[in-house]
Amino acid sequence: MLIQLDVLQKRHDELLTLLADPKIERSNRQSHQKELKHLTQLLEKGKACESLEKEIAHAKQMMQGPDQEMAELFELELDDLQAQLVAAQKELDFLLAPPSEHDDRSVYLEIRAGTGGQEAALFAGDLLKMYTNYALSKGWKLSIESESFTDLGGYKEVIAFIKGHDVYAHLKRESGVHRVQRVPATETQGRVHTSTATVAVMPEAKDVEVSINPSDLRIDVFRASGAGGQHVNTTDSAVRITHIPTGVVVSCQDERSQHKNKAKAMKVLGARILAAQEEKRMQEMSAQRKGLIGTGGRAEKVRTYNYPQNRVTDHQVELTLKKLDQVMLGAMDEIVDALRDQEHEARKKEFLSRFS
């Protein structure tokens, strides 16, 4: 067994005593109830695994007996018991690192051109296509909340909303610096250039999680601008919202209605503030945890896309695939699954260290 059930049982009993106190604060009650539910599930599954292990040991012992017919019956039972144990151990392994608080959320995906000028902006557009195709393959819905183009059609910045179940669980490790190595379309000598784009993945915030005081906001309206069409307006419909305490600024100009642009900008603002709170919480955690799963901060180089060699390398899990062409079309499962497995193992290790 990976866990010591007696230690879990002791903490389980402590929580029952704490929750029986009528003077307990509401916030503490909620966190204790959540922990108690988790420990109860672990204890039930852990005891089920222990019971199956004992039955397997008994079956193996009976197979060594003199009665050949009984030995054959216990051999059949052994196969069934071992299959049950494998399934129970998988369930226990999952419970040791349950999904984190925001894993089931939809997300705001923000992509910005980094170093590299026009080439960086074109790469930002390529990343958006990659994530769009990946979202479609998962049955999620992607909509553009805000976008800013360059003259050559790349993106200075684009914010997309991806709606679906467990989107944050799949994409949260995408945050960071993405580096591309290729020959730009504007390069006349055929030289390979290195450019970057930054990606930020922010879970959709619920109203109860992020409290925004209207007096802390500065709201400016201005005339939308862009490369023609819907991006040019004759009224002051574009909205820029500044959250004064944090300095977070959000602009939206894609809708013709000022009210719609404001509503969109407020949702993005809430997601950015929630993401900032999460980043601060991560930074306050122990150095051990940071070493296990990293902070996911934007300053971290997370992935390199090498076009000449058709190679993509994720630096978080040191995974290299020689199928960049497929990845850019949205075939990201191999990378995403490796990242999720790494996080699961790290969170499991952290949990077990509390009860060792």
Question: Would you place residue 260 in the very low, low, confident or very high pLDDT band (cuts 50, 70, 90)?
Answer: confident
Could you tell me which of 283, 284, 267, 280 has the C-alpha nearest to residue 212?
Answer: 267
Question: Would you place residue 198 in the very low, low, confident or very high pLDDT band (cuts 50, 70, 90)?
Answer: very high
Question: Would you place residue 289 in the very low, low, confident or very high pLDDT band (cuts 50, 70, 90)?
Answer: very low
DSSP string, 59-122: HHHHHTSS-HHHHHHHHHHHHHHHHHHHHHHHHHHHHHSPPPTTTT--EEEEEEE-SSHHHHHH
φ, ψ dihedrals at 106, nearest 5°: -75, 165
Give per-residue pLDDT as tens, 124-164.
999 999 999 999 999 999 999 889 999 888 999 999 999 99
Q: Are strands 319-321 and 311-314 parallel, antiparallel or unpaired?
A: antiparallel
How far is Cα 275 from Cα 314, in angstroms, rounded to an integer? 22
State which CATH number among 3.40.470.10, 3.40.50.2000, 3.30.160.20, 3.60.20.10 fits the domain covering 214-279: 3.30.160.20
Percent of the chain with pLDDT over 70: 87
Could you tell me which of 198, 171, 174, 176 has the C-alpha nearest to residue 107?
Answer: 171
Percent of the chain with pLDDT over 90: 51
107-208+294-347 — its CATH code? 3.30.70.1660
Amino acid 101 reads E
Amino acid 297 reads G
Instruction: Examine the pLDDT at 259 and tell me if it is beyond 70.
Output: yes
The CA dihedral of 258, 264, 270, 272, to the nearest 10 degrees, is -110
What number is the average pLDDT over the span 285-310? 62
Instruction: Examine the pLDDT at 218 and tell me if it is beyond 60.
Output: yes
Q: Which sequence spans correspond to the domains of the chain?
A: 5-96, 107-208+294-347, 214-279
